[in-house]
């Protein structure tokens, strides 16, 4: 482990923590523009975090310690996820801590804790949200794993840094399997981040909400942590997508200058990705919860086909 | 990287798109979207045929690409649009099996097709031989679509998609069939779609519905 590696790791975590709310704000702004609404300011998520951190948090009488611990666990999981996805450099001291499979497990851990916390208070909305969250999660996870396996087959490793290294510094070659996996990954990340076809992040309508139902009982600093964690999750998924399908611009090991250049490249890529996400959200309508298995089934099938195409065609 | 290898990769990409569209058709409920998907599949076929023609210097493939473009991207989708307009059947398609199960069946078919095609593809020396498995999978998926739809219009579209798959297999394995055969098939498909169009109107007139399960009752009357 070199000093440069530690610096890269620290820079990456700092960038993730700082930029994640900005990405959420940017997506919200793009969405508002596309829907002909007056957009909230770009820095709105920061203001909300600031406001929430300064408010007292109110706990239900019967809340168990789990309810209090969950926001910290979720936030920790998401921060670690952002730390091991290579966004700026492929030399990350923390990356041996978790490969692609463990990364999926990390997201699952966060999901389990937030669902348990939602059921902890015993309100019906929390339970409803937790069940829906688990339904979406158990369908999305296999598809995500298949997508990551496809990338692993190409680079012969499940370590994210190796995958990105292989994909970013190869000759220009078209991989149909990656194209299929990309579509599958888009569907999975829409579902996992509670985006429009599956869940509407802007609604508080009781019967349709998933993510909002989970965090209904949280307030103050707990809510701030969870909102920040949600922003980090979106950031992490965007970075995984960029790392797998548009890996150009990520610095190799021992290249400090390239790493500094990687920051603006990442910002541009995230801005484009966020605009594309807002466009997708605007174009699609929220689907019934019973259509979600179908939607995620398509993602799973696409990811499996991507893997088959990779194995059998070698392409 | 030379142009030949790049062309090969592009053909693989088009093959993957063909497979993607085939799956999209299986998972699609609406007739109108089904027709659009059919047009997209035709366009992909045109692109890959022209590409194979360009890479392997086979000018007769250009002719069949133009023929496909005229027939399967413009004429037949337009005819189908007219048919569903006149029959006013833009409704949701009724499926016999639910979609996730169909998709899983689809995966099984794809694995089956890839396994069947692997030894055949090794005999071929074509640039696109790897895509033979995908072409076969497209044919089987269209079969599945025809089997699992109870309405007449989606069945017709399934039949046409199957023909697309066969054509793609021919291009992939042997650089296309002889010109006479291709022209014959193109004409056959056109005549077929006209006859099926008339047939649809007949079914509709007889039963006030396009559900082909009504046809099973004929023998009792």
Q: What is the separation of C-alpha B125 from the centre of its chain, rounded to a whole number of angstroms?
A: 25
Mutate to test the interface with A, among B13, B16, B114, B134 (most CBs of A within 10 A): B16
**What is the C-alpha to C-alpha distance for residues A284 and A281, in angstroms, rounded to an integer?**
6
Residue B6: CB atoms within 10 A of its CB come to 14
Q: Is B103 close to A301, i.e. CB distance below 8 A?
A: yes
Q: Residue for token digits 């042997």?
A: B174
pLDDT given at position A253: 63
pLDDT at B221 over 60: no
Mutate to test the interface with B, among A292, A308, A310, A311 (most CBs of B within 10 A): A308
pLDDT given at position A230: 94
- Within 8 A of A178 by CB-CB distance, chain B residues are none
pLDDT given at position B176: 65
pLDDT given at position B91: 66
Q: Per residue in B106-150, pLDDT tens?
A: 999 998 998 888 887 777 666 666 788 888 999 999 999 888 887
Q: How many CB pairs under 8 A join A and B?
A: 67
pLDDT given at position A161: 84
Query: What are B's interface residues with A at a Cβ cutoff of 8 A?
Result: 1, 6, 9-10, 12-13, 15-17, 19-20, 23, 27, 98-100, 103-104, 106-107, 110-111, 114, 118, 130-131, 133-134
pLDDT band for position B2 (cuts 50, 70, 90): low
Overall average pLDDT of the B172-181 stretch:
72
**What is the C-alpha to C-alpha distance for residues B182 and B68, in angstroms, rounded to an integer?**
10
ipTM: 0.76
Burial class (CB in 10 A: 0-12, 13-18, 19+), A102: middle
| A301 part of contact set with chain B, CB < 8 Å | yes
Q: Which residues, other chains included, contact A287 with Cβ-Cβ below 8 Å and sequence gap of 6+?
A: A197, A198, A295
**Nearest CB to B16 within list A173, A176, A293:** A176
Phi, psi of A216 (to 5 degrees): -60, -30
Q: Is A176 close to B13, i.e. CB distance below 8 A?
A: yes
Six-digit token string for B58: 């086979």
Phi, psi of A91 (to 5 degrees): -105, 95
Q: Which residues, other chains included, contact A111 with Cβ-Cβ below 8 Å and sequence gap of 6+?
A: A133, A134, A137
Closest to B86 measured CA to CA, from B196, B194, B201: B201
**What is the C-alpha to C-alpha distance for residues A83 and A212, in angstroms, rounded to an integer?**
26
Burial class (CB in 10 A: 0-12, 13-18, 19+), A92: buried
Q: Is B15 close to A176, i.e. CB distance below 8 A?
A: yes
Closest to A185 measured CA to CA, from A87, A287, A88, A280: A280
If you ran DSSP here, which 8-state letter would residue A87 be given? S
pLDDT given at position A243: 85
Burial class (CB in 10 A: 0-12, 13-18, 19+), A248: exposed
Task: Look at residue A315 and give its three-state secondary structure.
Answer: coil
Angle between helices B76-87 and B179-207 (to 10 degrees): 0
Angle between helices A124-155 and A160-168 (to 10 degrees): 50
Q: What is the pTM of this model?
A: 0.86
Beta partners for residue B149, in sequence order: B95
| A313 part of contact set with chain B, CB < 8 Å | yes
Burial class (CB in 10 A: 0-12, 13-18, 19+), B104: middle
Question: Secondary structure of chain B in the HEC alphabet?
Answer: CCHHHHHHHHHHHHHHHHHHHHHHHHCCCEHHHHHHHHHHHHHHHHHHHHHHHHHHCCHHHHHHHHHHHHHHHHHHHHHHHHHHHHHCCCCECCECCCHHHHHHHHHHHHHHHHHHHHHHHHHCCCCCHHHHHHHHHHHHHHHHHHHHECEHHHHHHHHHHHHHHHHHHHHHHHCCCCHHHHHHHHHHHHHHHHHHHHHHHHHHHHHCCCEHHHHHHHHHC
- Within 8 A of A140 by CB-CB distance, chain B residues are none
pLDDT given at position A69: 94
**B110 CA: distance to closest CA in chain A (Å):** 8
Q: Which residues, other chains included, contact A197 with Cβ-Cβ below 8 Å and sequence gap of 6+?
A: A190, A191, A284, A285, A286, A287, A295
Q: Where are the alpha helices (DSSP H) in chain A?
A: 3-34, 44-53, 65-84, 100-120, 124-155, 160-168, 176-192, 211-214, 220-245, 256-283, 292-313
**What is the pLDDT tens value at each position of chain A, 315 positions in all?**
577 788 888 888 999 999 999 999 999 999 999 989 898 899 999 999 999 999 998 888 888 999 999 999 999 999 999 988 888 877 788 878 788 899 999 999 999 999 999 999 888 888 999 999 999 999 999 999 999 999 898 888 888 888 888 887 766 677 788 888 999 999 999 999 988 888 887 777 777 788 888 888 899 999 999 999 999 999 999 999 988 888 777 766 666 777 778 888 889 999 999 999 999 999 888 888 888 888 898 899 999 989 888 887 765
pLDDT given at position A254: 64
């Amino acid at each position: 482990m070199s000093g440069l590696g530690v610096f890269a790791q620290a820079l990456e975590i700092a960038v993730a923590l700082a930029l994640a709310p900005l990405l959420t704000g940017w997506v919200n702004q793009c969405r508002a523009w596309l829907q002909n609404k007056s957009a909230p300011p770009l820095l709105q998520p920061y203001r909300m975090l600031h406001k929430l951190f300064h408010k007292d948090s109110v706990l239900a009488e019967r809340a168990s310690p789990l309810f209090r611990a969950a926001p910290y666990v979720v936030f920790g999981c998401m921060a670690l996820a952002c730390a091991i996805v290579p966004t700026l450099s492929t030399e990350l001291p923390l990356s041996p801590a978790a490969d692609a499979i463990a990364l999926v497990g990390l997201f699952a851990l966060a999901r389990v804790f937030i669902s348990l916390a939602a059921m902890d208070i015993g309100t019906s909305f929390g339970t409803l949200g937790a069940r829906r969250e688990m339904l979406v999660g158990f369908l999305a996870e296999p598809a995500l794993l298949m997508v990551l396996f496809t990338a692993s087959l190409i680079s012969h490793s499940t370590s994210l840094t190796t995958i990105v290294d292989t994909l970013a510094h190869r000759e220009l070659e078209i991989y149909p399997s990656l194209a299929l996996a990309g579509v599958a990954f888009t569907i999975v990340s829409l579902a996992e981040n509670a985006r429009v076809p599956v869940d509407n992040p802007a609604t508080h309508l009781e019967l349709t909400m998933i993510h909002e139902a989970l965090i209904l009982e949280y307030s103050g600093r707990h809510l701030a942590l969870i909102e920040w964690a949600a922003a980090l999750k979106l950031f992490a998924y965007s970075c995984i997508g960029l790392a797998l399908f548009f890996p150009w611009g990520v610095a190799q090991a021992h290249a400090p200058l390239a790493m500094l250049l990687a920051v603006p490249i990442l910002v541009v890529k995230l801005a484009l990705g966020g605009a594309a996400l807002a466009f997708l959200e605007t174009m699609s309508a929220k689907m019934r919860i019973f259509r979600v298995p179908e939607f995620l089934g398509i993602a799973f099938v696409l990811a499996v086909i991507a893997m088959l195409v990779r194995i059998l065609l070698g392409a | 990287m030379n142009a030949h290898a790049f062309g090969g990769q592009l053909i693989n990409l088009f093959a993957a798109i063909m497979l993607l569209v085939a799956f999209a058709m299986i998972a699609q409920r609406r007739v109108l979207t089904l027709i659009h998907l059919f047009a997209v599949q035709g366009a992909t076929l045109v692109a890959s045929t022209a590409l194979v023609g360009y890479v392997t210097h086979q000018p007769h493939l250009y002719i069949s690409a133009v023929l496909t473009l005229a027939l399967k991207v413009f004429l037949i989708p337009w005819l189908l649009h007219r048919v569903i307009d006149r029959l006013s059947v833009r409704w949701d398609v009724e499926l016999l099996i639910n979609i996730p199960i169909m998709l899983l069946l689809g995966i099984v078919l794809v694995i089956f097709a890839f396994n069947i095609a692997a030894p055949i593809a090794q005999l071929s020396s074509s640039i696109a031989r790897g895509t033979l498995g995908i072409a076969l999978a497209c044919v089987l998926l269209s079969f599945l679509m025809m089997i699992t739809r109870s309405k007449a219009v989606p069945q017709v579209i399934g039949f046409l998609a199957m023909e697309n798959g066969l054509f793609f297999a021919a291009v992939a394995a042997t650089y296309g069939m002889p010109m006479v055969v291709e022209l014959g098939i193109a004409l056959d498909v056109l005549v077929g779609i006209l006859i099926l169009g008339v047939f649809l109107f007949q079914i509709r007139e007889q039963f006030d519905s396009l559900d082909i399960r009504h046809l099973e009752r004929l023998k009792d009357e």
